[in-house]
Amino acid sequence: MRHLPVIAAAIFTVGAHAETPRDFLARFEKEAGTAASAERGARFFTTKQGGEWSCASCHTDKPTQAGRHAKTDKAITPLAPAANAERFTDAAKVDKWFRRNCNDTLNRVCSAQEKADVMAWLLSLK
């Protein structure tokens, strides 16, 4: 049992570089148990959800364009996969940023449904 986390981490790392944005949509939809809604994702992304910031505060409400960190003003590369091929290709990064940014914008973790909706919307952007 002691080696279980190590084995899990190894599997996780191997999988980390083989992901595509659609894999994350599929994963979150599966976890949520329902189909994602791009329309719901757009609303979730662009409006405040309890915290001081919304997703759009840094990523803008058109995430095919570059954003700026709401506090530090640091440039942020586009989030939408159509505009930035590096996005949503590494599970460790995706999980890290959802964990942190949901905490900052919702003061809690995001549900699988919320993540699926955001993925669906981001993937719909051209």
Q: Which residues bind other proteins (CB under 8 A)?
A: 69, 71-74, 92, 96, 99-101, 103-104
Distance CA 4, CA 46 (A): 40
Q: What is the smallest separation between the CB atom of 39 and other proteins, expressed in angstroms?
A: 28
Closest to other proteins by CB, 42 or 110: 110
Give the shortest CB-48-to-other proteins separation in angstroms: 15
Nearer to other proteins, 61 or 90 (CB): 90
